[in-house]
Amino acid sequence: MAAKASGSGSNGAKNGTPSYELPWVEKYRPIKLDDVVGNKPTIERLKVIQEDGNCPHLLISGLPGIGKTTSVHCLAHALLGDAYKEGVLELNASDERGIDVVRNKIKNFAQKKVSLPPGRHKIVILDEADSMTAGAQQALRRTMEIYSNTTRFCFACNQSNKIIEPIQSRCAILRYGKLRDDEILKRLLEVCEMEKVEYSDEGLEALIFTSEGDMRQAINNLQSTWTGLGFVNAENVFKVCDQPHPFLMKDILNSCQKGDIDAAMEKLDEVWSKGYAAIDIVTTLFRVVKTMDNMAEGLKLEFIKEIGWTHMRVLEGVSTVVQLGGLLARLCKLNLSPKLFKME
């Protein structure tokens, strides 16, 4: 595959040397809702709020790296304009967010007088809100009521069930899903164009595979591969991401499909000797088996079931090579005649 280089751009690398100004994930963070990738129905709801101007309390839930916090910031920029810096308070998981912070920092911000556009409210953004203590959440619900005339609260979290019911009932709930592969690809191509990144099609496919729907991770991996190894191809991407290569995982699954336990164990030992954790091997096996179109549907279901049980055991702490060997033995056994295992 011939290498592809993107067009010129003022923010890109100069004289073939990659740019080191800012992490690309920050450099190309959207500042308008129109620029946010994916989750169109949810973004459309935010655009309605933007046009109406009356922002309710918001609870946005979804996986990491899919645009939750970015969307809230875009909405705040649109609603507050030049007053954005004074009118927004953001607290994330790295900040102390116990009862004292709710009673002092958030309360003081809600009481502060700020010049805002007519009909607009100050905005408190609580990122990773599901890591707040239950006590802090209980203290916050009263603050939300008292200062509802001047302040709106936006909660961004991975799991909405960790937010107490009284807060959930006060918020408009927006749910974000994983980004599609074509959405991530489109954004990666835009970044490559701006930064003059040389890449191959296989390299972009590897970035999409390793990101698992996480735009932030895809862009970070792109920057790490380009600045560290100088060319974005599949081999370099998997070096940077330090994940088991899916081709090797496919070889293991193909050996299991043939009932060849020796070949499967040999490849497993090769992967294990490189230092990969059992959880990485199991999750990559699961993701690869879903893409094996040549496998019969019934057999694929059995493979997924066995990999799922092993995943559960690994999460419980049994993350040894013996556990993985047992998984391969069970997968091989699925394709062998039951007569071979009859006891005389």
Residue 222 within any structural domain of the chain:
yes
Q: For the residues 97-103, what does the mean pLDDT come to?
A: 71
**CATH of residue 203:** 1.10.8.60
DSSP secondary structure code for residue 33 in this structure: G
Tokens linked to 293: 């179109």
135: phi then psi, degrees, rounded to nearest 5: -65, -40
Structure token digits, residue 170: 């006060």
Terminal C-alpha separation, the chain:
56
pLDDT at residue number 265? 92
CATH of the domain at 258: 1.20.272.10
The pLDDT value given to residue 19: 45
Quick check: is 26 in a domain? no
Q: Kindly tell me if the per-residue pLDDT of 95 is higher than 80.
A: no
pLDDT at position 108 is: 85
Q: Is a pLDDT exceeding 80 seen at residue 13?
A: no
User: Do 131 and 97 fall within a single domain?
Assistant: yes
Residue 29, in any domain of the structure: no
- Count of residues for the chain? 344
Residue 339 has a pLDDT of: 63
% of the chain exceeding 90 in pLDDT: 20
Choosing from 217, 241, 265, the residue where a domain stops is 241
Percentage of the chain with pLDDT > 70? 90
- Residues 221, 249: contact at Cβ < 8 Å? no
CATH number of 92's domain: 3.40.50.300
Which among 94, 127, 90 has a CA at the least distance from the CA of 105? 90
- The parent domain of residue 135 ranges over 39-175
How far apart are the C-alpha atoms of 232 and 5, rounded to whole Å? 10
Residue 257 scores a pLDDT above 80: yes
Position 8 scores a pLDDT of: 38
pLDDT of the residue at 340: 61
Residue 14 domain flag: no
pLDDT at residue 266, as a whole number:
92
Residues 153 and 190 in one domain: no
Q: What are phi and psi of 255, to 5 degrees?
A: -65, -40
Would you say residue 22 lies in a domain? no
User: 193-206 pLDDT, tens per residue?
Assistant: 998 988 899 889 98
Residues 141 and 207 in one domain: no
Instruction: Indicate if 233 and 268 belong to the same structural domain.
Output: no
Question: Does residue 165 lie in a domain region?
Answer: yes
Window from 74-78, 91-95, 136-140, 262-266 with minimum mean pLDDT: 91-95
Give the per-residue pLDDT at 294: 84
Among 188, 217, 241, give the residue marking a domain's end.
Answer: 241
**pLDDT for 274-315, tens place per residue?**
888 899 899 999 989 988 888 888 888 999 999 999 999 999
108, 46: one domain: yes
Does residue 267 fall inside a structural domain?
A: yes
Give the domain-ending residue among 190, 225, 241. Answer: 241
Do residue 141 and residue 56 come from a single domain? yes
Note whether 190 and 97 are same-domain residues. Answer: no
Report the C-alpha gap between 145 and 136 in whole angstroms.
15
Q: Mapped to the 3 state alphabet, what secondary structure does 175-203 carry?
A: ECCCCCHHHHHHHHHHHHHHHCCEECHHH
Question: Which tokens go with 294?
Answer: 């040549």
**Total domains, the chain:** 3
Q: How confident is the model at residue 12 (pLDDT cuts 50, 70, 90)?
A: very low
Average pLDDT over residues 54-60: 89
pLDDT value at position 228? 85
Instruction: Look at the block and give the residue holding tokens 């391969």.
Output: 328
Q: Are residues 207 and 272 both part of a single domain?
A: no
**Does one domain contain both 226 and 251?**
no
Q: Mind listing the pLDDT tens digit for each residue in 117-128?
A: 888 888 989 888
Q: Give Cα 168 distance to the centre of its chain.
A: 23
Q: Does residue 45 sit in the same domain as residue 77?
A: yes
Q: What is the distance, to the nearest Å, from the Cα of residue 250 to the centroid of all Cα atoms in its chain?
A: 24
SS3 label, residue 118 = coil
The Cα 314–Cα 133 span in angstroms is 29
Query: In this model, does residue 317 exceed pLDDT 70?
Result: yes
Tell me what pLDDT residue 242 has.
77
Tokens describing residue 126: 């609580």
Residue 302 located in a structural domain: yes
